A and B are shown apart, each in its own frame.
Chain A
Amino acid sequence: MSTIQTQGTEEVHPDVALVNRARQGDVAAFEKLVRQYDRQIFRIAQHITQNREDAEDVVQDAFLKAYEKLDQFQGNSKFYTWLVRIAVNESLMRLRKRRTGKMVSIDEDVETEEGSMPRDLADWSPDPEAQYGQSEMGDILRKTIQGLPPGFRVVFVLRDVDGLSTEETAESLGLSIPAVKSRLLRARLQLRERLSRYFRKNGKDGAK
């Protein structure tokens, strides 16, 4: 029977060793970090830029920037949180380039009526996903989340899809903890409200 042995009181995240090796020029160690996180970074970049080409560029540029700046990584936060912050900034930069003249920011607080109080109170069918095929479901979910303001979208993705903590999300986005909490609640409620049109008990009737 195996036993779990604790070594010391400080638990060191496995990424720290890889970062240290990469800092000394070990590209293979950095490659492991790339393989570990490229999917998540691509997902975040897609959610922010909503453009596949931009998202591909963000993945490349974010990892390269991280590699160049490894010396600046303090180790107070997780490597992934630090990497996400770089990727979010790169994504916003791409978005600004595409929408010249348009303000693009995730730290502006969007006041919307929607989401403060649920309006659609119909219950969902017991297995709402069964009503749609896999690809139709993907379309519904993408369309629904794309309708949210970018600042809500990215908080939802980091907290609920990626599983970052409130503190890590705040750090990645340069937001306060209350701002993250308020956006998360509104994002969750708005998504719920919008999905209700597709998933309510009466089936697809309301989805038009």
Chain B
Amino acid sequence: MTCSEFLAQLDDLIDNDVTAALRTDLEEHLRGCEHCVITLNTTRKTIEIYRKHELYPLPNDMRDRLQKAILARCKKC
């Protein structure tokens, strides 16, 4: 398996959506390719970090204001 072939399966590997046979091939490639190990681990970490940090929190006061405005407009419908 080449690095390009590995990369084409990267998302399915991360999302745990690969057959047992394919997983064996991918793991075999990883055993001999440090670059792909780094790519896999740091891509996983990228997703984890974005999932963990809320970049656009909705503050409670703004949330209340928006909810009131939405419901007031719905009631007029």
Contact = CB atoms under 8 A, between A and B. Distances in A.
Interface in A38-69: 38-39, 42-43, 46-47, 55-56, 59-60, 63-64, 67-68
Interface in B29-68: 35, 38-39, 41-43, 45-47, 49-51, 53-58, 62-63, 66-67
B67 A55 contact: no
A27 B55 contact: no
Give the size category of B's interface with A: 35 or more
Interface residues of A, number: 45
A43 B75 contact: no
Does more than half of chain B's interface fall in helix, strand or loop, or is it mixed? helix
Contacts of A124: 41-42, 45
A64 B53 CA distance: 29
B63 A38 contact: yes
B43 A34 contact: no
Contacts of B46: 188, 191-192, 195
Given A39-B58, A138-B55, A185-B10, A63 B70 contact: yes
Contacts, number: 110
A46 B41 CA distance: 28
Given A47-B56, A123-B38, A188-B43, A161 B70 contact: no
Interface of B: 3-4, 7, 10-11, 14, 35, 38-39, 41-43, 45-47, 49-51, 53-58, 62-63, 66-67, 69-71, 73-75, 77
6 contacts: A56-B62, A64-B74, A122-B38, A123-B42, A145-B55, A191-B46
Interface of A: 27, 30-31, 34-35, 38-39, 42-43, 46-47, 55-56, 59-60, 63-64, 67-68, 117-118, 121-124, 128-129, 137-138, 141-142, 145, 156, 160-161, 181, 184-185, 188-189, 191-192, 195-196, 199
